[in-house]
């Protein structure tokens, strides 16, 4: 029985090198994400990939440069990111008045399952409803970016009573202001998140 969900947050072209809203060193998380995915697949865990999927006109772009617009190359996942069959994809930020930071957003999201390399729509309204259906109570989070979408996803997971860990070395931060990453990690820890590493996750006995 699946006991854990791995949530890879927004490892998309626009957040990596050369993207419209590139996170410094963002590409470097792909290696760890792939290792975590392979391990999770072998263990029978649920593997989730969240992705910004913004319309071309949205209030979100009043705060950020346009990025991850639906159907563009920048909105696609990093080409080296491995997405096995059975993975869940959460498209978020699909409305024109929402930011879509959290993979646990209840509205303006669409869930798909990967079948033979293709994304097939599911009947679940949001990620939490899927995890509830599967009786999953533990989530691990990594990806981009620590101080925004990772943080929002972690804090929502905790509010929803999931046991939540942040795989810190598999994350990178925007750091618009000095110290944003450190403050975000502190906020997540204070809320109850456990900070862990790729090595610990791969080597743990469950």
- Write out the catalytic residue numbers: 10, 92, 149
- Burial readout 110-122 (b: 16 or more C-beta within 10 A, e: otherwise): bbbbbeeeebeee
Q: Which token pair is 105?
A: 């957003």
CB 134 within 8 A of CB 46: yes
With tokens 């491995």, the residue in question is 82
Cis peptide before 194 (omega within 30 of 0): no
Q: Which token pair is 3?
A: 């006991």
Report the alpha-carbon distance of residue 173 to residue 184 in Å, rounded: 9
- The residue count for the chain: 206
Residue 187 has what DSSP assignment? H
């Amino acid at each position: 029985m699946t006991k854990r969900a791995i949530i890879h947050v927004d490892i998309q072209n626009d957040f990596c090198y050369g993207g419209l809203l590139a996170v410094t060193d963002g590409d470097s998380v792909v290696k760890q994400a792939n290792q975590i995915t392979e391990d999770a697949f072998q263990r029978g865990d649920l593997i989730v990939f969240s992705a910004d999927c913004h319309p071309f006109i949205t209030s979100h772009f009043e705060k950020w440069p346009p990025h991850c617009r639906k159907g563009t190359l920048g909105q696609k996942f990093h080409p080296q990111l491995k997405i096995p069959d059975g993975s869940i994809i959460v498209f978020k930020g699909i409305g024109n008045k929402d930011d879509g930071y959290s993979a646990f957003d209840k509205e303006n999201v669409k869930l798909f399952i990967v079948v033979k390399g293709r994304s097939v729509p599911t009947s679940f309204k949001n990620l939490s409803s899927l995890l509830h259906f599967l009786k999953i109570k533990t989530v691990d989070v990594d990806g981009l970016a620590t101080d925004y979408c990772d943080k929002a996803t972690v804090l929502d997971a905790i509010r929803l009573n999931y046991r939540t860990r942040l795989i810190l070395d598999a994350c990178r931060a925007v750091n618009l202001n000095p110290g944003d990453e450190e403050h975000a990690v502190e906020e997540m820890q204070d809320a109850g998140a456990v900070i862990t590493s790729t090595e610990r996750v791969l080597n743990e006995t469950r």
